[in-house]
Structure 1
Amino acid sequence: MIPTRRIALWMVAAVLLSLPAAKAEDSLQALMPFLQKHCLACHGPEKQKNDRRFDTLGTDLSSRQVLEAWQDMLDQVNLGEMPPKKKPQPSPEERKKFVEDLTGSLEAAYARLRSTGARTVIRRLNRIELRNTLRDLLYLDGAAFRPGAVAKLVDNNGNGRVERKGNDPVRSFPDDEKEAGFANIGNRLVMSDFLLKLMLGAAEEVLPTATHTEKKPAVETRRFSGHLIKGKQYGQLTLETVSRELNPDFDMISMRYQRFGRLSPHELRGGVRTSARYRITVEASGHNQQHPWGELIKTDQDQPFLLSLNMADTANGGISGPTSTNLALWPLPGDGKKRTFSFETWLDDSWTPWLGWENGFYDRGFRAERLVEKYIPRAYRPQPDRKKVDKKVFDAWPIEMAKALLEDGYKGPHIRIYSLTVEPLIDTWPPRSHTALYGTGPAEKAAVEKLLLNFASRAFRRPVKPPEVAPYAALVRSLMVENKKSSPAAIRDLSYKAYKGKWSKLPQFSELEPFSEGVLADGLLDIRPAKMRDFYGMVFEGNLHAPRKGKYRFEIASDDGSRLIIDGKRVIEHDGLHGNSTRKGSIELSAGPHALRVEYFAYGQPNSLRASWSGPGFNDAHLSVGTKAPKQLSTSNTGEARAIRALQAGYTAILCSPRFLYIQEKGPKLDNYELASRLSYFLWSSMPDERLLELARTGRLTNPKVRQQEVERLLEDPRAEAFTRNFPVAWLR
């Protein structure tokens, strides 16, 4: 039964849609005296100039033929072609009124034609929806999937060097085309073979991320106390460095963080090492919220300090790079009392937590000696002349001033950090992301059809019957059988040479001297042996063995420029500065060995190089490992590994299905599952959760009260940040 609320909405819509039509007919009838006086002599019953007759012209503008006829009439009047110049002309007032009235009627008619009548045009998931759906479908977590995270290239430091902010699986997807500020308009979200190829790559990347064949990590709680930062390097914040010498029990934060002023445990400079959910606990105190140095240190002394907990990817710029993400802001009164704060979050293996003072004082030109000179003049002495004293004496002066300031009892506002504890929260193993894909036992003994049926039902966001997953099951079963002729061997006799330099396009490597060279025994292109973060290039050379004569297709994806050469012929040219993107090329090869050369350069971070080839009898065989080696299955059981790879192929096929990639509404009346998707994609930009799907299964979402309750529940969920971030910006543009 159709709910009363929807009947009411439809009735209102019907009335509203009918009003402009009735008004249009009346307004067009009102134009007939003008036509009778100025038009019908040439376009009436006796004469039809240019085959145009207006006395029988209808007023139903829902007909495109009628609409075009009235539009043609308006165009001729606007151009001054009607009435003809030799005929009596309407007054300027008559002409103006005719044009305005007809224009208004036609604009309303065009608007009705553009309307879909409150029905959603079938559309694919946009980039953000796709990322979020992969997150929820595969039970993934981490910074790349946070609602506010956007993987894009940014100039983080204003120096012209771009870095990628984030590393989610759809980072290489182009931005979605928008209409009126919205990125969810069906006729703008087109699909192409390019996007489908990107989706295939995203699926192949994200499924191994959800897979865990390794043993349960034996991660212990780690507590870092006293000084989080080790060493005595004097940088921009000399005051804080000197404080570590004088105060062994805490680290001092005296200014708001910019590129400096960020505290992270020295032992975690390479990340937490194990991807898991963690509880981060901080002991801190605020001091001198009310202080006497307001002339030089300008702060709002009525407001408590804000201690900021953040995380950043040490493999992509570290704590001062583009991936830094705020996790929590804790009010910290400046009364000197020690307080404890805790926060739980997922941290990927290369990510690390860091602390900063969010609302602290900041002055790039601030120096401790200025405070000493003004507030402790007895301890002040002028800066020595660099030309007259030894360098050590000159460099020791700012340290001496900082010590004088601290030894006198620092009266300026500051935060003290006593400890930071990282506690892993690993309750079950393997995690749900794994068991949802492969079950709780060995994958080679898993009920393939049942696993695929459960996955497809969630991926397609509606019930799925066994015959619908039969093709996917057949694919998985076929791949579970070992095929020794599946793909050709890797590159033979593969060597590399690495070069240092800053280029905007591939250089003439033959004119340069390599700083490093070696052999890649596994036969896969790998940029890691260069051991460079940026500003380098590499040349790979080896022999590629074509199994038989035929056409071979190559694909290369790089950030920045690359080139692939076979037997001296350029097959792929992907030169220049650019983010991670893909190029393809083809070549006819005879059976046997062929000389392969791949050139690559990296300007900034991040860096990546991937390559694959396809030919007679095989598809997408890897020629590279990429920047970060593909996740290896931690099992010596070849049958188990083969079963997992086979299931991943089946899941990949499902993720490339239109039933996953598109939001489809089949009839004029939304069913329960369509309502569930409308709710979740509107408020979460993601798939329905288990509760929404259960309400859809039991038919309860057609109840307005239930829908209202679900709206409130969805808005309370952290995933609603996708709505609060995106919808108001588009709506209020």
Structure 2
Amino acid sequence: MKILLMPFESFSQRCPRVILVLMLLLGSWASTATADSVSFRQTVQPFFAEHCVRCHDEKLTEGELNLRSLSADFDDSMAAQRWVEILDRINLGEMPPEDEPRPTPEQLEVVTGWITDQLQQMRAAADSTGGRVVLRRLTRLEYANTVRDLLGVEFVQGKGPLDVLPPDGSIRGFDRNSRALLVDPSLLDAYLQVAETVAEKAIQFRPPLITSRTMRFEFRDTKGSAMEYLIDQRSAEIVDGRMVLMEGNARTFGKLRHPFSGSEIPATAEYRVRVQASAVPGADGDPVYMDVRQGPAESFAQFRVDASPDSPQVYEAITTRDELFQGEFQIGIVNGSKFHDYVGSRGEALKESKKAFDQGRLVDATRIKARLRAQGDYDTNNRGAFSPNAWKLDDLPKLYLDWIEVTGPLGSDYPPQSMRQVFSDGWDPETLDADGRWRVIRRLLPRAYRRKVSNTEIQQITDLIQSELDAGHDLQRAMRTGVVAILCSPSFLYLYEASETDNARLLQPMELASRLSYFLWSSKPDDELFALAVQGKLSDPKVLESEVNRMLGDDRIDGFLQGFARQWLKIDQFNQFPADEKIFPQFYETRFVGLESDVAEQPLAMIGELIRSDEPVTALLDSDWTMLNERLASFYDIDGVSGDRFQRVALTSSQSAERSTTMPSPEIIRGGLLGMAGVHRWGSDGSRTKPVERGKYILDVLFNDPPPPPPPNAGEVEPNLGGKKLTVRERLRLHREQTTCNNCHRRIDPYGLALENFNVIGQWRDRFDGEKPLNQWGDDRPEIDASGQLPSGESFDDFVQFKQALQKQRSRFVRGLTEKMLMYALARTLVANDRPTIDQIISEAGGDEMSFRSLIQGIAASKAFRAK
């Protein structure tokens, strides 16, 4: 069993100094057989002799456990299971029994630490491929991207390979390891289903029956019973040729139906929805928000409408609509519920409304309907009190609507890109003979299989196409059958690197091209990379470096962000616990609709910017800039950012809007990964922060040094009960006293407690919040204490000093990142023999000043990456 690759600091905390000295004398990469046996003899066996063997030896084997003969070989599954039982009994306090001499905490730490290390190494060995890159299938992200680039097909959200194929397994946080990419009959069925869908979309010899159309409805054309309905139910009126909303939704009343099907949505596809609108804020000055939806579903777009009635603006959204869910389009004013504050009053308000009507102040239909509603409310309920604002409708926020326009299905233009890509010489079914079909497959197959192909392989596909034609099917179906066969072939589904012997060898040019493209693009090589491989030029270090730079500048680098960065930072888990709406209602304010996706996008946008700008990766620890759009900037209380697009924003104190006097300026708070709300969301349970989880996140993600799993009786840090107002720090202190994992908490907690100024939704706080609505806390909320001392001995008083302390661990961060990215690039776990490779990559990439670009270049140039 090999030594697990782990940071020196972590290893030194777990092993006696004598073992470290012995290891240094024997060499850095001595096998663990010696180290483990020495540690076992010097620490574990003496512990057993003093506390355990009296009841567990060859004479008295209580629980059928003989510790004198128990093997320390964790490759033996029976022995490993015994060690798991021993670890659990010690952690639960059941061993040694109370009538035996009690071991010291230090002795317990050494023994449990040794067992835990051996179990971790055992699990690592089970995940390992022995340092070899072995045959693996495409992940579903790689499959989707490969199909897109091979055939030129795009899928609407919810209908593509990413949505149909089941999630992939993962090892060490990444889904590229062959041990995690299992294949079972259900997956084969899914591949067939997806391949048929892809082929149907890619091969179209005839224009689609449903073509894209633009349909428009002018809101001033709402008349008759429809207008009466809106006046009565939604407080709408037509003024100067525009519909004015004061609450609720306007509707299209069946006026936006596609002529082909007579329904709003003739086919599942993307549609472009445009609304020309303007607004007048209410007396309170709050902006007006417009909501757009279709049918009974939730809204698919919301806009802040700042345009005045004198200068209306067009607001546009592209949305995926499903033909199974029909319904009229509805456009609403989100904050129009204030209408009820004015017209929904009871009791004495009726007298005021009658007086206003008699004096001629209620002259239009809306106000008449409002009076009648008040009359009905009074007659039915006869309750409430007089509201002096009952008829001041001029003070209400109003949304002015001119027209709505729906265009779609988008992407139904003919011919589609796929036909031009597959049939580059033309696709007339009358003239595409056997020779023409052979040329199509001869061009397509090498790109699909990512290697040279034989005439026999081409013939197999063309024979299948011919058999379909012989059976009486048309050419469109026959060609689709051929595409399905290609997409279901092992040569397409697997990344194959031939290995005739167990000896390591350099990759063949096409193998290297595939490894590089799936590392950086999560997709197949493009024609330029393919050509360089065919010409044998990729073996030239300068050519390889130039090609990596080209690929980093291509839009397909998004495959790296979605493949590596998203998994490395655990972004898909940011919203694993939605914020409690009753405790944190501000997260669900109208102006923050879409914030969830912004929080997930921010770290990816920053890494993308770091790749483009070629700046040091340590900007993720701290920086004087970040990536923001208008919505996220507003959430962070930063002014001067406009638009939905993420942009680089210099963090200066002048950009901060109103905030508490004790809150540091944004350039100190929001710089780096730990200033992003997504990390704080990950380390929360929706109602309260969880410093232990946040600390584990930092150790795992930033340093590649995850702590061992907690013992079975560790339990949770309990929330406040019985009116107590203890901070998480105080409850953690009690938690540590009640469990046997104080050693781990000393390593984890300082990192997590340093982030306590950020609440569940990632906003700054000086005093404790969460667990219950703020108005239930009273005025004596505990103050946040974010001070601490890191295991390295570095102390800090607050979050600002904590980030400064992290900067002193840049080398640890750089090494952890290098290990993570190399593991991702090689699609395997790391072994001891990878240590020299990692050292070389870090050195050549610039050490602590390395950038993502230089790190990627270093990995691509390494022998480990270029060898089988």
TM-score where L is the length of structure 2 = 0.44
Give the 5 Å matches for 1:310-459: 319-321=294-296, 325-326=300-301, 332-334=306-308, 336-340=310-314, 360-363=334-337, 366=340, 369-370=343-344, 378-379=361-362, 382-383=371-372, 412-418=397-403, 420=405, 422=407, 429-438=414-423, 440-443=426-429, 444-445=432-433, 447-459=436-448
Amino acid at match of 2:571: P
Measure how far apart 1:361 and its partner are: 0.7
Give the 5 Å matches for 1:256-271: 266-268=256-258, 270-271=263-264
Measure how far apart 1:728 and its partner are: 0.9
2:115 to 95, 103, 107: 103
2:189 to 197, 205, 211: 197
What SS does the aligned partner of 2:474 have?
Answer: helix
Measure how far apart 1:224 and its partner are: 2.5
* 1:659 is aligned to 2:491: yes
Amino acid at match of 1:140: V
Amino acid at match of 1:729: D
Residues 688 and 309 of structure 1, relative CA distance in 2, 3 Å threshold: farther
Give the distance between the partners of 1:693 and 1:345, measured in 2 at CA. 36
Give the distance between the partners of 2:6 and 2:112, measured in 1 at CA. 31
2:515 to 674, 677, 702: 674
**Higher strand fraction: Structure 1 or Structure 2?**
1
Measure how far apart 1:673 and its partner are: 0.9
The one-character-per-residue Cα deviations of 1:271-307 (angstroms, maximum 9, x if unpaired) are: 47589998x5846242213x32x4xxxx734xxx555
Residues 723 and 226 of structure 1, relative CA distance in 2, 3 Å threshold: farther
- Assess if the C-alpha contact under 8 Å between 1:226 and 1:251 holds in 2: no
Give the distance between the partners of 1:42 and 1:719, measured in 2 at CA. 56
Residues 462 and 351 of structure 1, relative CA distance in 2, 3 Å threshold: farther
2:231 equivalent in structure 1: 238
The one-character-per-residue Cα deviations of 1:691-710 (angstroms, maximum 9, x if unpaired) are: 66567665389845753663
> Structure 2: which 5+ runs fail to align?
12-27, 58-63, 381-389, 575-678, 683-868
What SS does the aligned partner of 1:140 have?
Answer: coil
* 1:649 is aligned to 2:481: yes
1:139 to 152, 164, 188: 152
- Assess if the C-alpha contact under 8 Å between 2:218 and 2:404 holds in 1: yes
Give the distance between the partners of 1:236 and 1:691, measured in 2 at CA. 62
Give the distance between the partners of 1:338 and 1:77, measured in 2 at CA. 70
Give the distance between the partners of 1:242 and 1:38, measured in 2 at CA. 81
**Higher helix fraction: Structure 1 or Structure 2?**
2
The one-character-per-residue Cα deviations of 1:465-499 (angstroms, maximum 9, x if unpaired) are: 4433332222223333x237xxxxxxxxxxxxxxx
What SS does the aligned partner of 2:337 have?
Answer: coil
> Structure 1: which 5+ runs fail to align?
1-9, 45-49, 151-166, 311-318, 395-403, 485-640
Amino acid at match of 2:428: P
2:459 to 439, 451, 470: 470
Give the distance between the partners of 1:74 and 1:424, measured in 2 at CA. 59
What SS does the aligned partner of 1:417 have?
Answer: strand
- Assess if the C-alpha contact under 8 Å between 1:78 and 1:99 holds in 2: no
Q: Percent identical across equivalent pairs? A: 18
What SS does the aligned partner of 1:415 have?
Answer: strand
Residues 716 and 103 of structure 1, relative CA distance in 2, 3 Å threshold: closer
The one-character-per-residue Cα deviations of 1:5-34 (angstroms, maximum 9, x if unpaired) are: xxxxx9999x99948947545523423656
Give the distance between the partners of 1:359 and 1:721, measured in 2 at CA. 36
Residues 265 and 177 of structure 1, relative CA distance in 2, 3 Å threshold: farther
Give the distance between the partners of 1:692 and 1:211, measured in 2 at CA. 26
- Assess if the C-alpha contact under 8 Å between 1:139 and 1:432 holds in 2: yes
Give the distance between the partners of 2:153 and 2:493, measured in 1 at CA. 19
What SS does the aligned partner of 2:572 have?
Answer: helix
RMSD: 6.0
Residues 642 and 95 of structure 1, relative CA distance in 2, 3 Å threshold: same
- Assess if the C-alpha contact under 8 Å between 2:212 and 2:413 holds in 1: no
Give the 5 Å matches for 1:479-628: 479-480=468-469, 482-483=470-471
Amino acid at match of 2:151: L
Residues 709 and 18 of structure 1, relative CA distance in 2, 3 Å threshold: farther
Amino acid at match of 1:432: Q
Give the 5 Å matches for 1:171-210: 186-210=178-202
1:707 equivalent in structure 2: 548
The one-character-per-residue Cα deviations of 1:547-587 (angstroms, maximum 9, x if unpaired) are: xxxxxxxxxxxxxxxxxxxxxxxxxxxxxxxxxxxxxxxxx
Measure how far apart 1:414 and its partner are: 1.1
Give the distance between the partners of 2:543 and 2:126, measured in 1 at CA. 28
- Assess if the C-alpha contact under 8 Å between 1:181 and 1:730 holds in 2: no
What SS does the aligned partner of 1:672 have?
Answer: helix
- Assess if the C-alpha contact under 8 Å between 1:273 and 1:350 holds in 2: no
Q: Which moved more, 1:342-351 or 1:689-698?
A: 342-351
Residues 323 and 705 of structure 1, relative CA distance in 2, 3 Å threshold: farther
Residues 420 and 91 of structure 1, relative CA distance in 2, 3 Å threshold: closer
Give the distance between the partners of 2:229 and 2:563, measured in 1 at CA. 38
1:212 equivalent in structure 2: 204
Measure how far apart 1:656 and its partner are: 1.5
Give the distance between the partners of 1:717 and 1:267, measured in 2 at CA. 37
Give the distance between the partners of 2:38 and 2:132, measured in 1 at CA. 28
Give the distance between the partners of 1:388 and 1:335, measured in 2 at CA. 33
What SS does the aligned partner of 1:266 have?
Answer: coil
* 1:460 is aligned to 2:449: yes
- Assess if the C-alpha contact under 8 Å between 1:228 and 1:266 holds in 2: no
What SS does the aligned partner of 1:30 have?
Answer: helix
Amino acid at match of 2:439: K
Residues 265 and 240 of structure 1, relative CA distance in 2, 3 Å threshold: farther
Give the distance between the partners of 1:720 and 1:52, measured in 2 at CA. 52
Amino acid at match of 1:442: D
- Assess if the C-alpha contact under 8 Å between 1:255 and 1:360 holds in 2: yes
What SS does the aligned partner of 2:205 have?
Answer: coil
Amino acid at match of 1:413: K
Q: How many residues align?
A: 494
Give the distance between the partners of 2:498 and 2:254, measured in 1 at CA. 53
Give the distance between the partners of 1:649 and 1:690, measured in 2 at CA. 25
1:64 equivalent in structure 2: 75
Residues 69 and 195 of structure 1, relative CA distance in 2, 3 Å threshold: closer
Give the 5 Å matches for 1:22-37: 24=36, 26-31=38-43
- Assess if the C-alpha contact under 8 Å between 1:281 and 1:342 holds in 2: yes
